[in-house]
Each structure stands twice: as structure tokens, then as C-alpha cells.
Structure 1
Amino acid sequence: MILQDKKGLLLYRTDRLGERDWRYDSCYKLIFTPYGKSLYQTSRSDIQIEEDQFFIFNPKFEHKQIQVTKEKFLVEIEPNLLNEIASQLGVPGTDMEFASTAFKNPLLLQWVSFTKNFLTMNENMTIGMQKLFIESSLIQLTTLMLQYAPGSQLEELPHSLYSPNINRVLDALKQSYQQDWSLDDMATIAGMNKFPFSHAFKRETGLSAYSWLQLFRLLKSQHFLTKTNRSIISIALDVGFKNVSSYNTLFLKIYGRTPSEFRLLYRRNS
């Protein structure tokens, strides 16, 4: 099933799940994988999206579908809609970039569950109902993406609806993200053994505990890059990276540009 209007597209299908041609779309594209893993190829690296994870391709990010497991759920959102909703929410800047990482979020999962059930139960919708549903769905999803999907629009990673053990750890990491955390430290706060904690954290957030912390540090650094003239090395060390090389490497992986290039771009667009 495909629903489409001038602001975006919603696709839900169980066929054509194998290798496809390269795409170079002008829209934001959210991919959700409900069963097993999906594989995509990009010019930077291969991307694996695991069960119940989301991945957002930014506009003009060339990519190629290699394999999707069982079913495909995809939403395309035009940049003008995202910028319009961002303005209404008070999110500064335009043409936000989402982080090139797979993630999980309970509220986005709820949105997908409702949307899939509605589409399944209303396969013969009238044109009028299709129009109303796609308009409201795109606005809802865009709002959730801006609030909960990691990217340039956030200064930290929000969390909600995770288990109490994981939330305790996330609160501690946010309060002391510059600290040199170990997995043992995090597991102690969660009141769990190290390996069960590691599995639980990845299952709930879609990221390993260390990857979550590094991504949080990167997002915190964005404020200093765009709002101050501080050096890249001082920003990297102050937000908790051990050296500027590891900071630059992660930044390049997440956004496809260096911190210096990010600084110039977002100052120009602000």
C-alpha cells in the first residue's frame, strides 16, 4: 500500500524486498524494520537496521537497498514540511540533519503500530480518507522525529518510557556525561550484572551503552560548535571525548562532515 501527497509518502509492502537500484532522494526517508535486519549500502558504509529499529536518510544521501526482512515500512517527508513543523516547535535553523545511526524509541514504535494497524484494517479507504490520514500521519511523525530522533536539532538525547533500570542509567549519564564511564559503572547504577545490563540497554534503546554515551556527547558539542568560537579540540575534550581524533571520526560517521564543516554550515543557515 502507498499513500502519497505533496508533503510526503507512506509505503507498507511485503514484496520487492531484495536488492534495488541506488536512490538519491530530495526528501527525508524514515525506514522501520519490524522483523530481523535490513541492509542498505551507502557511499560511507553499509547500514544494518535491526528488529524494531529506525533509520533516517537525510535528503540527497545516496543509498541502495540490499535486503529487507519480511516487510518494508517506509515514510518520506518533504523538507518544507519538516522545516514548517520545526518552526512551530521553536526548533532553530532549517534543513536539519538526522544522525546516521539506527535507534529505537517507544513513542515512534507506538506511532508505527497504530499506522500499520489502521492501514491493514482500511485497505479500501476513500480518496478523502486517504488524504486526511496521510496529512495527519506525516505531521505526527515529523513532530516525533524532531523531538526524539538524534540529529542536529537536538542538544541531547531525550528518553521516555524505558524501564526504570535503564532510565536511572540514562539520567546518570546525562548528569555526568564528561565522566570516564565504564560498563561496570553503568551496570551498578542499573542494579544489574554487566552482561544482562548491556543486552537490556541495547534492546531498549537500539544502541550499546557506550555508543549512546558517545552520541550524547556529540549532540552536546553541537551547541558549542554553532554558538561559540571555541576550538574544536577544547569542545571535544570538554564534552568527554578522550581526544579530538575520536571526536572527529564519530562526527564524520554521523553527519558525513567534520565538526568544522558542520560549524560553518549551521552558522550560515541560522
Structure 2
Amino acid sequence: MTGDRAMIVDNESGLLLMRNDQLGERQWRSDDCYKVIFSPYGKGIYQTIDGDQSIDRGAFFIFNPKDEHKQLQAYHEKFLIEIQPSFLMEAAEKIGIGHQAPEYARVSYRHPQIQQWMTFVREFIITQESEESHQLFLDHSLTQLAILMLEYGAGSHQTSFPSIHIKGPVNEVMNALKESYREEWTLDQMAEAAGMNKFQVAHLFKEETGVSPYSWIQLYRLFRSQHSLLHTAEPILTIALQHGFTNVSSYNQLFKKVYRKTPTEFRRLHRFHK
């Protein structure tokens, strides 16, 4: 794709869009599909009714159906995939992940498998000029992406924050945090687990995952709590404290930030469909 142009490939299950023009502010949208936004080169910014959402270079973000949003900025290129809920649910049923459409968390992060898929698809679309090739490629690629979204997308169907399989100090920190996620952690303790100083580990962790170490452990606690929230009758306070939150207020605040609803509302919406 050269010059200022847009490329759209679509079928009944979804759509792929790549463009390097009109990257500034756009109109408000509220689509009936899941929309996976990628930022291959630099930060993208979207406005939502709850504030701006940044998507760092190499990261992705998933809008749920009917999520109101407006593109404010895309760096050098806009690259997104739309997937119909029925198509995602068909994939979910085939691999045994629930019977209700997932609700994805408002979290932007990096994941190696997602990045590999994004890189491969972009390169193919850019280098192959045949529209027939694009169409056939999209048919298979959407199935792959649906599986990746279900496996590695952070949402209501998960019982843990999606695993990231990487080597090195960040992996050491993650393993330590997972083993003791109910405990309080300081950046100094994380640095000790990594064998680095705290400034190095904070930078490397954010570079590898797209989120800070503290944000990661808080998200890990929240997603670990979802099973208890949806499959038990335990009080919200008990669940919060059992999963490493110091008080129910911080648990509620994080839930509101991630899902735009309280744990009680989340439980009411999702638990009887599990």
C-alpha cells in the first residue's frame, strides 16, 4: 500500500481495513461488531464516552459491539479488523469457551502471538495485489484472529490475564507475581525478582507487555477474581480481599475502569450464562 489510500477487504464474517490517509479526527461510531484496533508504528488515540484510550506501538485494543468511540489520531497507518459477534461465538463454541459473547476489557496491551498474526497479515495484504488472494486470505485469517481473541483477549470469558510467553527478566517477574499475586508488591521487590534495578525492570516490562508492572499485577488479580465472581455466591468484599485487593473500593474502581461496570453489575450480566 503506497501513497495516500485505503484498502478494504470484507466478507459476511468481518472486514479488514488499512489506510494511511485521514488519520486525524473522525466521526463518532457505534458498530454492531467487535473491532480490533492495531497500532503498528506508533500511538493511536480513540475517544470514548469515559475518556481517551491510547494504543501504543505494537499493542492492540478491542472495542465491543455498540461501544461508542471516535478516532482522534492514528500514527502513520490505521489498521483494524471487524469481526461479527456470530462468527466469534461460532469459534467460541467450537473450542468450548462458554455460550455467551465475550465482553472485552478496556485494556490495551502487547501480546507476541497477536503481534505475529498482525505482522503476517499486513505483509501479505501489502505485497499481494490480487483481490481474489486478499479475499481468500481474509476468510482464513478471520478464523485465526477469532481464536487468538478468545485465547489472548482480556475479557469476561477469562479466568486469568492472558499469558505472555517470553524469555528473560520480564518472565521471571511475571512468574513471581503469579505465584504470590495476593501479596503486596513493591517495584523494588519486582526488580529483585528480575535481577535488575527498578528503573530497568519498569521500562522493560512496559516495553514487552504494553502495561506497567503495577498495572499488570492489578489486572491479573482482577481476572483471577472473575471465576469466583461468576461461579460462587461469595460477597464482593470477600472476593476482593481473597484476590489481593486491599479494599473493596479499589476493586470496584478497577472494575469500572476496565469494564465500565461494577463487579455486581458484571456478575448480574454474565454469571447465569456461564
Structure 1 length as normaliser, TM-score?
0.97
Aligned-residue identity in percent: 50
Q: CA deviation at 1:32?
A: 0.5
Q: 1:139 aligns with which of 139, 143, 153?
A: 143
Q: Is 1:31 aligned with 2:42?
A: no
* Aligned equivalent of 2:204: 200
Q: 1:49 is matched with which residue?
A: 55
Q: Say which of 11, 21, 31 aligns to 2:17.
A: 11
Quick one: which of 168, 177, 183 aligns to 1:179?
183
1:183-234 CA deviation, whole Å, 9 max, x = no partner? 1111111111100100000000001001000001110111011100000000
8 Å contact from structure 1 (residues 3, 11) kept in 2: yes
8 Å CA contact retained: 2:8, 2:15:
yes
CA contact (8 A) 1:159 1:167 kept: no
8 Å CA contact 1:93, 1:266 repeated in 2:
no
Q: Any residues of structure 2 matched to 1:1-270 within 5 Å, and which?
A: 1-126=7-132, 129-270=133-274
Q: 2:4 corresponds to which residue?
A: none
Cα distance in 2, alignment partners of residues 202 and 160 from structure 1:
13
CA deviation vs aligned residue, 1:1-59 (integer Å, no higher than 9, x gap): 11101110011111111111000011110100112211111001111111111111011
Which deviates more from structure 2 when the two are superposed, residues 223-232 or residues 164-173? 164-173
Residue 269 of structure 1 and its aligned partner are, at CA, apart by 2.5
Counterpart amino acid of residue 189 in structure 2: D
Partner amino acid, structure 1, of 2:179: Q
RMSD between aligned residues: 1.1
| In structure 2, distance between residues paired with 1:60 and 1:166 | 36
Please tell me the residue identity of whatever aligns with 1:69. Answer: Y
Q: Compute the displacement of 1:268 (Å).
A: 3.2
**Match of 2:3?**
none
Q: Decide whether the 8 Å contact of 2:20 with 2:78 is kept in 1.
A: yes
Deviations 1:72-91 (A, max 9, x none): 11000110111111111111
Return the alpha-carbon distance in structure 1 between the equivalents of residues 20 and 51 of structure 2.
Answer: 26
Uncovered stretches (5+) of structure 1, i.e. residues with no partner: none
Q: Which letter maps to 1:157?
A: F
Code of the aligned partner of 1:124: S
TM superposition score normalised by structure 2: 0.95
- Counterpart-to-counterpart distance in 2, 1:153 and 1:61: 18
> What is the CA–CA distance in structure 1 between the aligned matches of 2:130 and 2:40, rounded to whole Å?
24
Instruction: Determine the C-alpha separation between the residues in 2 that align with 1:158 and 1:75.
Output: 20
SS at match of 2:126: helix
The alignment of Structure 1 onto Structure 2 pairs a total of residues equal to: 268
- Structure 2: 5+ residue stretches without partners: 1-6
Runs of 4+ in structure 1 off by over 4 angstroms are none
CA contact (8 A) 2:15 2:83 kept: yes
